[in-house]
Amino acid sequence: MLMLNNINRGVNTKMFSLPRAKKYSFLLRQSTSMVTIELVLNPNDVDQLAAQSILVNAFMGEYEKYLTPKEIDPKLTSWKDGKNSVHEYYEDYFKKEFEHFCENKIDYWVQAKIDGKLVGWATFLREDSDKNAIYMDLLMVDPEHQKKGIGEHLVKSLIRLGINIDLSAIHLLLRRKNAGGREFYEKLGFYVDPTYRRDGNYVNMSLLEPLTWKSRALEDKTDHLPRMK
């Protein structure tokens, strides 16, 4: 198994000799703190331990409310203890996601920081069938910073960062029993889309449901765009 502290050593940084990353900042809801949203161009700029912790805590914090370990995956026997734990399952989930980023299998990795500390991140892939459609693979926000606008900004980040201002659709696959996620995405205008298909997910496809956002569901792309840095 590839360990976290070994991943960066295998990254060829010459492959990522791109221009300075785009970023913008916004005021955290009900706070005086500023959140910076930035596009990651080099895997070495990802705080892997923090990103992994956010993924594990976000998933477990939601699913412990109403699922058993076996409902997450039949081979899981506990939440935190032993080899077949939910905790280890989601640690492996992060490792696989980061490996894909290093292997250029993920097109965009966007992260959110407060005072330099990672508080959320999202990954995206371009859809082969439509250059202006995106598949959002993961959206993760630290449970301590949820419901403060960070998740919404990450969803909109490719538009607001100027990466694809003509974005027409965002697709994602949501666990059918993820009640908190469903509520969040419905507020942003996502809807169940039985016509969407995507294979090769880390999670068993029978447990997932496709959601789609069409362009009019989010705020106008040209209004109030943050200033790029």
Residue 93 lies in a domain: yes
Q: What is the mean pLDDT of residues 169-180?
A: 91
Q: Which pLDDT band, with edges at 50, 70 and 90, does 99 fall under?
A: very high
**Is residue 224 predicted with pLDDT exceeding 90?**
no
DSSP string, 191-203: EE-TT------SS
Q: What is the pLDDT of residues 113-169, one digit of tens each?
A: 999 999 999 999 999 888 899 999 999 999 999 999 999 999 999 999 999 888 999
Say what the pLDDT of residue 29 is.
86
- % residues pLDDT > 70 (the chain): 82
DSSP string, 97-127: HHHHHHTT--SEEEEEEETTEEEEEEEEEEE
Q: Give the domain range for residue 116.
A: 4-164
Taking the C-alpha atoms of residue 201 and residue 196, their distance in angstroms, rounded to an integer, is 14
Q: Which pLDDT band, with edges at 50, 70 and 90, does 7 fall under?
A: very low
Residue 11 lies in a domain: yes
Amino acid, single-letter form, for residue 142: D
CATH number of residue 62's parent domain: 3.40.630.30
Amino acid, single-letter form, for residue 4: L
The position carrying tokens 């298909």 is 197
Residue 223 lies in a domain: no
Please state the separation of Cα 132 from the chain's center in Å: 19
Work out how many domains the chain is built from and give that number.
1
Taking the C-alpha atoms of residue 185 and residue 179, their distance in angstroms, rounded to an integer, is 10
The mean predicted confidence, pLDDT, of the chain is: 85
Residue 116 lies in a domain: yes
- Name the DSSP class of 128: T
Say what the pLDDT of residue 21 is.
59
The alpha-carbon radius of gyration of the chain (Å, integer) is 17
pTM: 0.84
Say what the pLDDT of residue 217 is.
47
Residue 186 lies in a domain: no
Q: What is the mean pLDDT of residues 189-208?
A: 82
Q: What is the mean pLDDT of residues 102-107?
A: 96
Q: Strand pairing partners for 170?
A: 134, 213
Q: Per the structure block, which two tokens stand in for 50? A: 């923090």
Residue 192 lies in a domain: no
Residue 146 lies in a domain: yes
Q: What is the pLDDT of residues 68-96, one digit of tens each?
A: 999 999 999 999 988 899 999 999 999 99
Residue 59 lies in a domain: yes
Q: What is the pLDDT of residues 12-55, one digit of tens each?
A: 433 334 445 589 999 998 888 999 999 999 999 999 999 999 99
Least confident of 114-123, 168-177, 196-205: 196-205
Taking the C-alpha atoms of residue 208 and residue 201, their distance in angstroms, rounded to an integer, is 9
